[in-house]
Amino acid sequence: MIKSSINILILIAAFIFSAGSASGQRNEKNLLSHKIIVNQDDCTIVAYVKPVRGWPVETDKYYYWFSAHRIKSTQGGYSGKLLNGDYRESYANRNLKELGYFYKGLKAGVWRSWSQNGKLTEDYTWNFGEKNGIYHKYDSLGGVLERGKYRNGVLHGKQKIFAGDSTRTIYYHKGKVSSPKSIVPGFIRRIFN
């Protein structure tokens, strides 16, 4: 009786242990199979091509995809596995070159770029393959050279350009240079004009 109980407990423990380890291996295998590494002469790219289902392609957007050991970009279509997940590009000296995220082949979130000596050169915010949000450009010392905002892929709002001790401000409305908004109400302007 005791001997059969011990045998049953050992059998149950072995079953639980083997099921747990098989599940962990399966998840690790799925994660690793979607990771791609592209080695080029001047840089190394690590990206992911997680499966994508039912995604309509828009003709005005650039899609990034992987095929034949290369990452490619085309407008309005793709012919391979769409990049989908983290993206990291490094120089040959292992310093970061570009860091960002792809969502179904389109750039998404904040993308940062660095010079070969490790200085941040720019950062842009992307949404479904379009620049959409605040951006910065930096000088070789890490100071801000330019700051502005994109909306739907075009400059929109106040853009500041810094040069030495001066600042130049340019206003954009839907990608076109415009005059700044007046803080004086319209009816007061009409009275004094």
Q: pLDDT of 116-133, one tens digit each?
A: 999 999 999 999 999 999
Higher model confidence: residue 33 or residue 15? 33
Least Cα distance to 109 among 82, 95, 130, 136 occurs for: 130
pLDDT-based confidence at 11, cuts 50/70/90?
A: low
168 and 128 within one domain: yes
pLDDT number for residue 21: 45
Range of the domain at 124: 36-192
Q: Name the least confident of 22-31, 41-50, 139-148.
A: 22-31
- The partner residues of 120 in beta bridges, in order of sequence, read 114
Residues 8 and 78 in one domain: no
pLDDT at 130: 96
Are both 176 and 135 inside the same structural domain?
yes
Average pLDDT of the residues of the chain:
86
Q: Say whether both 29 and 40 belong to one domain.
A: no
The token pair that represents 47 in the structure block: 């990206």
Same domain for 85 and 7? no
Segment (H or E) for 15: helix 2-33
Tokens 């620049």 locate to 131
Cβ atoms within 10 Å, residue 134 = 14
Instruction: State pTM to two decimals.
Output: 0.76
| 47 and 115 housed in the same domain | yes
Q: The tokens of 146 are what?
A: 């330019």
Residue 44 main-chain phi, psi, to 5 deg? -130, 135
CA dihedral 125, 129, 132, 137 (to 10 degrees): 40
49 and 13 in a common domain:
no
Rounded CA separation 124/108 (Å): 10
Query: For residue 181, is pLDDT > 90?
Result: no
| Higher per-residue pLDDT: 155 or 20 | 155
User: DSSP string covering 173-187, please?
Assistant: ETTEEEPPPPSS-HH
Q: Does 149 lie in the same domain as 68?
A: yes
Please state, for a pLDDT cut of 70, what percent of the chain lies above it: 78
| Number of domains forming the structure of the chain | 2
Same domain for 138 and 185: yes
